[in-house]
Each structure stands twice: as C-alpha cells, then as structure tokens.
Structure 1
C-alpha cells in the first residue's frame, strides 16, 4: 500500500489550521462549562442557606433546590453548545416540543405536582397531623411532590394523590389542641329525662379526660317515633379523644343499667310508599 505523503501533509495542515482557528471557542466553551458548574453549586448553597434561615418547609426546600439546579444546568448547557458554534434555535425548538409532548402525556402527574406545591406552600396540614380527606382518615407521615402518605389507625399505609387532595375538603384534627365529641344516646319515652341527664352529667364530671373548660353539655337532641335522643357533647384533648369517647359511653351504659334505664335501640323508619 502506497501512502501519498503530499495528501497526508495537506490533511494534517488543514486539521492544524482548523484546530488553531477553533481552539479559542473550544477553550472558552469549557471555561464557561467549568465556571458555570462551580457557580451553580455556590448559588445552590446560598439559596439553601436563605431558605433554612427563613424556616421553610424541608420538603419545599429540597424541591426548590432541585428545580433551581436543573434550570441552571439547562441554561449552562445551552450556553456551552452556543459557544461551540452549534446552532441553538433548533435545539431549543426540540426541547419545547419534547416538553409539550411530556406535558400532554403526564397531565394527571402535573395536576398532582401542582397540588403538592399548593399543599407545601399553604400548609393545610403538616407531617404528624391527623386528617380526614378523600374518604380516608390517617396520620400524615410524609408529604411528597406527587402524593401524601397517611398511616391509618389500623396501621395501613395510604397514598393520596396531591391533585385530588388539594382540590377536596380536608378535615385537620390536629390544628386545634382540643376536640368535642358529638354523642347521641337514645332512651325510651318511659324514662325520666331529668334523671337520665343527671346521670350523664355525673359521668362527665367524674371522667378525668373530659375537660372542665369548655364545659360539657347534655341536652335533648330530638324526639323520634320510638325514642328520646339526648345529645352528649364533652370536650377532650386531641390525644385523649378516642379513650374519652369510649369511656363515657361505657360508663353511661353501666350507670343506666344500675338505675334501670334502658337505652333504646335504633330503629330505622320505613320509607313511605305511595
């Protein structure tokens, strides 16, 4: 095989010429790349310090930090290839088309993402709060960007999408320190109402978990076809609410049995037929 030294020399000269002409762009592009990566780290640390000093939610802090890093990296990458002399208009158009396609295919996820942002920003509940929403009740253990994790009283894990969670009604049982129970006890018409109310009031007074302030209340709630319904409304601390409710109902039943008062069973009224 014969090698044409003249052509080889010509190719080598052209390569050296192109390299010399292109080297300033190449060097400046890599300088921009390395300096940009260093500045991104500095900016991220600075923003994190500001958010921590202002006591922002840790979940929000991590999320905003990640978003900031990726936005700055995309800007740096576009600047890098632009400095190399690569046309960026078509590249930006491709990114836009990809973003639109991804957005259309992930509408539900974007809705959950927006819901997560609303929950993190407006804080209708926090981690360790007990809430009721979307037909479930549990203690919040983690607020993620797309879902919120709840643990129910029987130790089941439930993931509720943030989109539906942020758009629905939320009952937060942990914001206030105290909570009122709305109990209903039905007695027969043969029972002396005053005697029954006095027994219930005494049970409430003797229960240490029932708060004295606000004071509990016992009154006639309704007169049905088969019973007198008494409304029993005691207050308790959140952590005592479940035990207090159970104890009050048990003690009322025991005191009624001693006094010979029969709790009237619930009878569902038949609907009228035309």
Structure 2
C-alpha cells in the first residue's frame, strides 16, 4: 500500500515538474500564441464581414458574397495559426507540404464534388439564371428555388423538389424562360370557317385571362392545313409554377369560344361506298 502510494506521489511529482518546466520555458510563447490566435480570429471575422458588406453594396450575388467572405476568413485564420506555431519553434515547411499533399489527395478523391463547386462558382459569376427563373436542362424542368455552390434546387408544379448537381448545368444546352413558360397548342376548325374571326376572337379571349402573360405577346395564327380541317396554332406564356393548370384553363376557354361562335371542330371521317 505504502509502495503504491509512493509510486503515485513520484508520478505526480514528475508530471508537476514537467508542467512547471514547460511553463517556465514556454509560458511567454504560449501566451503570445494565444494572443495571436485571438487577434487573428477577431481580424478574420471583421475582414470577412467587411467583404460581405462591400459585395452587398456592389449588388454581388448573396451566395458568391458569402463564399468570398468564408474563404477570406479561413485564409486569414490559417495565416495566424501558422504564425502561432512559429512561436513554439515549429517549422511550418513540413506542415505546408503535408497540407499540400492532403489537398491533392482530397482533390483526386473528390473530383465530383469539387467539379460541382467549380460549376456553382461559374453559375454565380455568369448568372445564366437566378432564383425564380424557369429552366429546362437534360429533360428536367422547374422553377429555380435556390442556387448553392454544389447544387441547384428546383421546384416543379407538383411541389417536387429536384436537386441538380451544378456540373450537369454547365456545358449543357440550358433553356431559361425566366418567370413564364411557353405553351404551344393547336386546335382544328372546319374548312370554310372564318379564320380571321376565329383568330381575332381567340386572341381577345386569351388576352383577358389573368394567367396568360402580357409579355411576350401571345401569337395565334394558321399553322397548317390538315386532311380534315385548318389547324390553328396557339403560342402563349403562363407562370411556370402552375403550368398545367393554366394550360387546361386556356384549352377550356378555347373550346367554349368555338362553341359560342358556332365554329365546328372537325374530326376524321371516312366515306364507305357499297358497290353492287
């Protein structure tokens, strides 16, 4: 019991002597390193916020402004950490080399995510679309809800959230119809109908609908001549968030208008003759 107690006392004494010796030799270095880290943290936060406010004043995209501010914060803080390590006599050269090798390995392992961030940076800089625009790319269409560095979030009319990695938006043919989306429809009328009256009446009725955008202007005209009748083409723009509901409402108005004007909609007919 006494021997074990003696061993514990010796161990505690050695630890105490080691700590005391460390504090005597490196107390000022530790204090200086702590002060440097605190000053570095304060300065990094101040400079980061200053850059974000400056970008906001220059009407820079919010996501890009925050990204630049975060990069500035990390860069300044890293510089102060290296300075603090130097207070202990630690050489930063091997540390920098290790960080470089680690960064290279991480870059090779994370090519997909890194390319997404690079593409997101390009999107924010060039601004081919912004929040609220309706875009179509690679067979996917929706309203842009949020643009992040790694991905773009889109929302469909069915309230489905589509997450598109940004690398799929760069280098592809991208259609941007902004807030509205075009609807292209047709309706057939019988040969002999007054096409001028039909076009004028449909144009007036559609212009009275709130869901049909005033700009760009709708276009209605003769699109083709079918086997059974004249094909009237309709091109108009509606808010993309309710694309299908607006399209169906316009189709109903077109049908009722033709009925009210006694314009017949032809249908395929076949005449069969019996030869005796």
TM-score range with shorter-chain normalisation? 0.7 to 0.9
2:47 is aligned, of 43, 63, 79, to: 43
User: Does the 8 Å CA contact 1:180/1:234 hold for their aligned counterparts?
Assistant: yes
Match in the other structure for 1:186: 188
Identify the residue that residue 261 of structure 1 maps to in structure 2.
264
Report the Cα distance in structure 2 between the residues aligned to 1:142 and 1:38, rounded to whole angstroms. 31
C-alpha distance after superposition, 1:69-88 (max 9, x if no partner): 11222222122112311121
Structure 1: segments with no counterpart, 5+ residues? 266-274
Rounded Cα–Cα distance in structure 2 between residues aligned with 1:183 and 1:163 = 33
- Pairs aligned (count): 252
In 2, distance between residues paired with 1:45 and 1:224?
65
Corresponding residue for residue 268 of structure 1: none
Flag the 1:219–1:66 CA change in 2: closer, same or farther, 3 A. same
Where do residues 1-274 of structure 1 align in structure 2 (5 Å cutoff)?
22-174=26-178, 181-187=183-189, 191-192=191-192, 195-207=194-206, 208-209=208-209, 216-224=218-226, 228-234=230-236, 245-257=247-259, 259=262, 261-264=264-267
C-alpha distance after superposition, 1:103-128 (max 9, x if no partner): 01111111110111112122222222
Distance 1:213 1:61 in 2: 32
TM-score when scaled to structure 2? 0.75
Most deviating of 98-107 and 229-238: 229-238
**Structure 2: gaps spanning 5 or more residues:** 8-12, 269-276
